[in-house]
Amino acid sequence: MFERFHQDARQAVVLAQEEARRLRHGFIGCEHLLLGLAAYGTGAAADALAAAGVEVSGLRALVASEVAEGGDAGDPLDADALASLGIDLDAVRRTTEAAFGPGALDRSRGRFVRGHIPFTRRAKKSLELALREAQRLKHDHISAGHVLLGILREGDNAAVRVLATAGVDAGPLRDDVVRRLMAAA
The DSSP letter of residue 28 is B
Distance CA 73, CA 71 (A): 6
- 82 touching another protein, by CB under 8 A: yes
Residue 182 binds to another protein (criterion: CB under 8 A): no
Q: How many helices (H) and strands (E) does the chain have?
A: 11, 0
For 10, 86, 96, the CA distances from 142, given in Å and listed in that order, are 9, 49, 43
How far the first Cα of the chain sits from its last, in Å, is 22
Closer residue to another protein in complex, CB, 104/170 = 104
CA angle 185, 174, 179 (to 5 degrees): 30
Among 7, 9, 2, residue whose Cα is nearest residue 146: 9
HSE value, Cβ hemisphere, 13 Å, CA-based, for 165: 16
- Taking CB under 8 A as the rule, does residue 109 contact another protein? yes
Residue among 57, 85, 91, 171 that touches another protein (CB under 8 A):
85
CB of 77 to another protein, least distance (A): 5
**Residue 94 binds another protein (CB under 8 A):** no
Window contacting another protein (CB under 8 A); options: 15-23, 25-33, 84-92, 150-158: 84-92
**How many positions of this chain bind another protein (CB under 8 A)?**
24
Does 76 participate in binding another protein (rule CB under 8 A)?
yes
Query: Residue 70 CB, nearest distance to another protein (Å)?
Result: 13
Q: Given the complex with another protein, which of 111 and 138 has the nearer CB atom?
A: 111
Name the residues that contact another protein, by CB under 8 A.
76-87, 89, 92, 96, 99-100, 104-105, 108-111, 114
